[in-house]
Chains A and B, each alone.
Chain A
Amino acid sequence: MKQVWAAILIWLAISVTSALAVTPAEQLRDPALEARARVISKGLRCVVCQNQSIDDSNASLAADMRVLVRQRILAGDTNTQVTQYMVDRYGNFVLLRPPVKRNTYALWFGPLGFIGFGALIFWLTARRRKNPKIAPAGTENPDEKQRIDELLEQYRK
């Protein structure tokens, strides 16, 4: 169901005459330049879609963005310059890999925190388990064993 709604949202954003993602007409003649365009496009978000890159998206806006990327490449921009150009136009929103900066520290370093926290918990738990006070089952001392047997005997009666 979830994907259904995603699909609806994606499709709402698409004009009726939608085409496939990258179309032959958009492609650059020079395969090396086209390959660069593809790499750059994969990292850019189609801004009207749900987390789809412009390389994958059928939306007409994505097609415009793809053309824009190729125009910049033809104009002689490096990959970083093209990306920067898109960021200047659409904001950081366009980057599928968000930049590491103040408001994304929690995102980028959070997972390391989770793993560290998990390791800490395991370490503490494993240490606690060595605590002789909590003896594993079956290692009761003879006194305890006798008491358990007594209790069981009582219970059976």
Chain B
Amino acid sequence: MAAEVGNIALIIALLLALIQIVAPLVGAGLSNLRLMHLSGFTAIGQLLFITIAFLALSVAFIGSDFSVALVARHSHSLKPLLYKISGVWGNHEGSMLLWVLILSLYGAMVPIFGRALPIRLKSLALSIQGMIGAGFLGFILFTSNPFLRLFPIPLDGNGLNPLLQDPGLAFHPPFLYLGYVGFSMAFSFSVAALIDGKVDALWAKWLRPWVLAAWSFLTIGIALGSVWAYYELGWGGWWFWDPVENASLLPWLAGTALLHSTLVVERRYALVNWTVLLGILTFSLSLIGTFLVRSGVITSVHAFASDPERGVYILGMLLVLSGGALLLYALRSSKLRIGNGFEVLSRESGLAINNILLVCATAVVFLGTFYPLLVDIFSNDKISVGPPFFNLYFGYIMGALIIFMGIAPMLKWRHDSAKRMIRPVLLLVGATLFVAILVSLFGKSVLGGLGIGLAFWLFGGTLMNWAAKVRLGRISFTRSVALARTLPAGIYGFVLAHIGLAVCVVGVTGMGLWSSEQILMMQPGQQTRLGGYAIQLDQVTHETGKNYSAEIANFTLLKKDKTAAQLRSERRFYPVRGMQTTEAGIHVRPGHNLYVAVGEGAPDRGWAVRIYYHPFVSWIWLGALLMALGGFVALADRRLRLPSAQRNTGLANKAVSSPVSGAAT
């Protein structure tokens, strides 16, 4: 029953999406207010019906209804409840349903929060949202229907991949999609602005919170995936430049650029055309990421060719949506009002450099990710592009970006004098050199000094910027405190996010340069030393979980002959899937982690044990969390509030009744 309800709800949502595409376009052409307003209702309707479909699938999963093929393939009656729920999106069909659910959620936000927006812009954007929604709903219904029945009904399901049975990973996809799909707002409003032929500060003011929210969610999503890989894959890596990871990094990088360029449009009305283009590109990269993962094209061109249906569909959608948007941009971007200019030494210019570097970083990751594919298609050769390539170029570009980030935010809008900058910059350079040299000497690594130096530079520069904002030292301390309280939330968002990156850089440097490891066979009672700890294998026991059996190695961690921690590492065997996973034992300290993973073994020859000492590794994710937090804090900025609806309805109506140049031209 639930499956049929879900299926019908999806079909209704698709019909609503189709109405939502057409009504605003016709309405804008005829200046018909009713048709344009209809888009708001269809957007909310889509959210309603897709939610029904999603709940229907959840009911099937939670109730272990194995007559639904998807549930039979990906769930099992013995699975813990949390993973029955996360199983809903732990597979292709369900994850696409989550994708459109989130899309419809963002779509419904437009009529709910965008009352102050001109109806033309709003409804045109909803039309574009409708196109994306219809595309993906069609994709689900025609190629990946989650509600297909299975007959005969199996007695039990196949179970969820054990690797995915993890709380960190249960929430990884929803966050990732809240990010990916959130950029659809930037896309549809950019395209709408192109059709409408105008971009203004209100447009940027409206867009910025959505970009901020999407970016923050994506940051959390990527971080969750990275943490999961760290403790679940059993060898302590946190980023692999895997094509699938790159697929999430690409929209993040472009989104970071977009975040900053909307700021310039909002405050100074500069970089206008560029921001529109970036809005289109960022979401296109989300789509490309979806294509990359869904089509299997990146594993091998041949995997793609053998089952091309889904891949071709998404590729087609990509061509229509992104290709169409870019074509529209080429044709109509010149119609947009040319933005204000800026001088070389100004905040605008600093943010322009930020955008150039971030887009270069995006391009490098894109190139490295797709190059093997291109070589495979156009020549007989097969090559790999691995970490050495990405670390080299990405490292340099990020280094340059951080150098700019340390000082550029101190620049004033419009124009600034180099003279004013000399003193703070010299101070910062001096302090950074001091720290870098100190770290190089004590850490016995010039690279380490460079990495920590960069982190300090960014941290120091950001704090100096904040200190200047509260006029610390120039006025009495109490007045500075009072001033600090009245600063807009956006400034605190900036401080948190930039310091977050500095924290992240410390983690990456520590992990990359000072980590150490031991791989050995251990017998119970045996001890070994690493990173100032003595690690002792106490005993190996067996245990049976709800849906797995495990071999558990218990360790005692000693520091200066005192017990610092008890750790357990497990090797789990999941009989339903016939798969094995490793659960590492991790001793988390602020400055380092000690990571223990047990491997194969037997009482007579001992157990294979890997022990890692990872300095500052948690800082990587702490930094990511601070960045995301910065994004959310900036959302609270009062300057992002749209003018109140009442005052603006008059304006909105005027915009409609006046003869419009736009879609018709």
A residues near B, CB below 8 A?
Answer: 1-9, 11, 16-25, 27, 43, 45, 50-53, 56, 58, 91-98, 103-104, 106-108, 110-111, 114-115, 118-119, 121-122, 125-126, 128-131, 134, 136-137
Q: Are A1 and B245 in contact (CB under 8 A)?
A: no
Cross-interface CB contact of A45 among B161, B243, B386, cutoff 8 Å: B386
Known contacts A2-B245, A4-B164, A103-B381, A22 near B368 by CB under 8 Å:
no
The residue that A111 contacts in the complex, of B163, B341, B364, with Cβ under 8 A, is B364
CA distance A7 to B240 in the complex (A): 12
CB-nearest residue of chain A relative to B362?
Answer: A114
Structural contact, B242 and A51, CB atoms closer than 8 A: yes
List 6 A-B pairs, minimum CB-CB distance, nearest first.
Answer: A96-B386, A97-B388, A20-B599, A129-B341, A118-B356, A2-B244
Q: How far is the CB of A143 from chain B (nearest CB, A)?
A: 20
Known contacts A95-B383, A111-B367; is-contact A118 B360 (Cβ 8 Å): yes
Instruction: Pick the residue among A6, A24, A137 that contacts B340 (CB under 8 A).
Output: A137
Q: Contact: A23 with B385, CB < 8 Å? A: no
Residues of A within 8 A of B4 (CB): none
Quick one: which of B169, B248, B385, B578 contacts A107, CB cutoff 8 A? B385
Given A7-B233, A20-B597, output 19 extra A-B contacts at Cβ < 8 Å.
A2-B176, A3-B228, A3-B229, A3-B245, A4-B172, A17-B600, A20-B599, A24-B521, A50-B244, A51-B387, A56-B235, A92-B382, A98-B383, A107-B371, A111-B360, A114-B359, A118-B357, A118-B359, A122-B353
Shortest CB distance B302–A (Å): 14
Q: Are A91 and B248 in contact (CB under 8 A)?
A: no
Residues of A within 8 A of B368 (CB): 107
C-alpha spacing A43/B385, complex, angstroms: 11
B379 engages A103 (CB within 8 Å):
yes
* Residue of B176, B244, B338, B610 most packed against chain A (CB within 10 A): B244
Check B243 against A50 for contact (C-beta < 8 Å): yes
Chain B residue with Cβ nearest A10? B233
Partner of B580 from A3, A16, A50 at Cβ < 8 Å: A16
Determine chain A's interface SS by DSSP, over half rule: helix
Contact yes or no, B384 A23, CB < 8 A: no
Q: Digit string of B359-380 for contact with A (CB within 8 Å is 1, else 0)? A: 1100110011001000100110
Q: Which of A24, A91, A122 contacts B382 (CB under 8 A)?
A: A91
Bound Cα distance A3, B357 (Å): 26
Q: Which A residues are CB-close (under 8 A) to B387?
A: 51, 53, 96
Distance (whole angstroms) from the CB of A95 to the closest CB of chain B? 6
CB pair B242–A3 under 8 Å, yes or no, is yes
The stretch that binds A, out of B37-45, B342-350, B470-478, is B342-350
Alpha-carbon distance between A5 and B244 when the two chains are bound, in angstroms: 8
Chain A's closest residue to B394 (CB) is A111
The reply to whether the CB of B421 lies closer than 8 angstroms to some CB of chain A is: no
Q: How many residues of B contact A (CB 8 A)?
A: 77
Q: Bits for B372-416, please: 1 = Cβ < 8 Å to A, else 0.
A: 000100110111111111000100010000000000000000110
Q: In the assembled complex, how far is the CB of residue A38 from the closest CB belonging to chain B, in whole angstroms?
A: 10
Would B608 and A50 count as touching, CB distance under 8 A?
Answer: no
8 contacts across the A-B interface (CB closer than 8 A): A5-B244, A23-B519, A23-B599, A53-B386, A58-B235, A111-B363, A126-B349, A136-B342
Report the nearest A residue to B233, measured CB to CB: A7
B219 contacts the other chain (CB 8 A):
no
CB pair B341–A136 under 8 Å, yes or no, is yes
B237 contacts chain A at the CB level, 8 A cutoff = yes
Q: Verify B610–A20 contact, CB threshold 8 A.
A: yes
Least Cβ–Cβ distance between A60 and chain B, in angstroms: 12
Q: Looking at B228, B233, B289, which has the most chain A CB atoms within 10 Å of its CB?
A: B233
What separation, in Å, do the CA atoms of A17 and B602 have in the docked complex? 14
User: Once bound together, how far apart are the Cα atoms of A103 and B352, in whole Å?
Assistant: 33
In the complex, A44→B159 CA distance in Å?
34
B residues within 8 A CB of A98?
383-385, 389
Residues in B with CB closer than 8 Å to A21 are 234-235, 610
CB of B579 within 8 Å of the partner chain: yes
Q: Is the CB of B163 within 8 A of A2?
A: no
* Interchain nearest-CB distance for B57 vs A (Å): 16
Minimum Cβ distance to chain B for residue A91 (Å): 6
B169 partner, pick from A4, A25, A103, beta carbons under 8 A: A4
* A92 with B383, Cβ < 8 A, contacts A7-B163, A9-B299 known: yes
Residues of chain B within 8 A of A2, CB atoms compared:
176, 225, 244-245, 247-248, 289, 293
Query: A43: which B residues are within 8 A, CB to CB?
Result: 386, 388
Rounded to whole angstroms, the CA-CA distance of A20 and B520 in the bound complex is 11
Interface centre among B353, B383, B415 (most CB of A within 10 A): B383
> With A4-B169, A134-B341 given, is the CB distance from A95 to B384 under 8 Å?
yes
Distance (whole angstroms) from the CB of B369 to the closest CB of chain A: 9
Complex: how many Å from CA A107 to CA B386?
12
Contact residues in A for B388 (Cβ distance below 8 Å): 43, 96-97
B203 within 8 A of A: no
Once A110-B367, A129-B343 are accepted as A-B contacts, the answer to whether A3 and B299 lie under 8 Å apart by CB is: no
The answer to whether B383 touches A20 (Cβ under 8 A) is no
B173 in the interface, Cβ–Cβ < 8 Å?
A: yes
CA distance A16 to B223 in the complex (A): 29
- Residues on A with beta carbons closer than 8 Å to the beta carbon of B493: none
- Give the residue name and chain of the A residue nearest to B605 (CB): A25
Of B89, B240, B341, B359, which contacts A52 at CB under 8 A? B240
B243 — which chain A residues lie within 8 A by C-beta? 6, 50-51
Known A1-B293, A114-B360, A121-B356; judge A51-B608 contact (CB<8 A): no
Q: Does B90 contact A (CB under 8 A)?
A: yes
Which residue on A lies nearest to B176, using beta carbons?
A: A1
B95 and A1 contacting across the interface, CB-CB below 8 Å: yes
Known: A3-B229, A8-B161, A98-B383. A20 touches B173 (CB 8 A): no
Q: How far is the CA of A113 from the CA of B397 in the complex (A)?
A: 13
In angstroms, Cα B625 to Cα A151, docked, is: 50
CB distance from B274 to the nearest CB of A (A): 9
Q: For A50, what are the chain B residues with a Cβ–Cβ distance below 8 Å?
A: 240, 242-244, 298-299
B344: A residues at CB distance < 8 A: 126, 129
